[in-house]
Structure 1
Amino acid sequence: MCALCGVLGGDGHWTDAAPRPGVFTRNTDGLARRRERMARVAVANRILKLYGLSLSDWQGASFVLSTATGKSELVDNLAHLWAAAEKLAGRPCDPLDPAVIARLRDDHG
């Protein structure tokens, strides 16, 4: 998406919980939407840890992706996360790689 479309499109992203009438969500209040956002950050961090990266929420509007050495990049939404992760890690970051999924299963269970 170009910068102008991002500005004109509003501040919501399809990966975020939506408090709009007629849009399916169980998160109708701000606190519930915040909890859901933090749960997404936790899931992303399980994967990013395998690449030496971490993600944190920034003001409920963006995310900060960081390396262990302190390099960081602001990420607008989760759709931009993996491109930024590859840039900071200096290698491909594929959350659907079968080896990554196997490691997540092993670590979790």
Structure 2
Amino acid sequence: MCSLCGILGVENHWTDAVARPGVFSRNDETRSRRLERARRIRLANRVLAAYRLQLGDWQGRAYLLSTATGKTEVIDSLAHLWPAAEQLSGRSFDPLDPDLLSRLTARR
């Protein structure tokens, strides 16, 4: 499936707040939803930086996952982040790896 078809066909995912109160979030204000999404991206990027990957927002509907060399994949929700990251990087990794968590804690 092409990226555009994937974006147009997605349902709301529980990791994204939607504009309907009580559905995944009590947040029905557009600005606050954008801030929540930006915060999730920042947190994911703290982990992804250890693997030289970066997550970005695409029109508030999808995410762009990129390598340091410019390979990019569109993912529709954070549920697809780790499998896509492994595929792009060509290696497996564990975001809950104790060594990684120690480094992240030390950088606070």
Structure 2 length normalisation: TM-score?
A: 0.86
- 8 A contact 2:21–2:28 mirrored in 1: no
Distance in 1, matches of 2:56 and 2:24, equals 26
Q: Quick one: which amino acid aligns to residue 52 of structure 1?
A: R
* TM-fit CA distance, 1:21: 3.3
Distance in 1, matches of 2:52 and 2:21, equals 40
Match of 2:95 in 1: 95
Give the RMSD, CA atoms, in angstroms: 2.1
Which runs of 5 or more structure 2 residues have no equivalent in the other structure? none
How far does the alpha carbon of each residue in 1:28-63 deviate from its partner, in whole angstroms, 9 at most, with x for none?
201100000000000000000000100000000000
- More displaced 10-residue stretch of structure 1: 19-28 or 46-55: 19-28
Match of 1:37 in 2: 37
Describe how 1:51-66 pairs up with structure 2 within 5 A. 51-66=51-66
Structure 1 length normalisation: TM-score?
A: 0.85
Q: Quick one: which amino acid aligns to residue 82 of structure 1?
A: W
Distance in 2, matches of 1:82 and 1:52, equals 13
Q: How many residues align?
A: 103
Identity in percent? 54
Distance in 1, matches of 2:17 and 2:96, equals 23
- 8 A contact 2:17–2:25 mirrored in 1: yes
Distance in 2, matches of 1:11 and 1:66, equals 23
Which runs of 5 or more structure 1 residues have no equivalent in the other structure? none
Distance in 1, matches of 2:24 and 2:85, equals 30
Residue 66 of structure 2 aligns to a residue in which SS? strand
1:73 aligns to 2:73 (yes or no): yes
Match of 2:83 in 1: 83
Distance in 2, matches of 1:43 and 1:82, equals 14
Distance in 2, matches of 1:34 and 1:11, equals 18
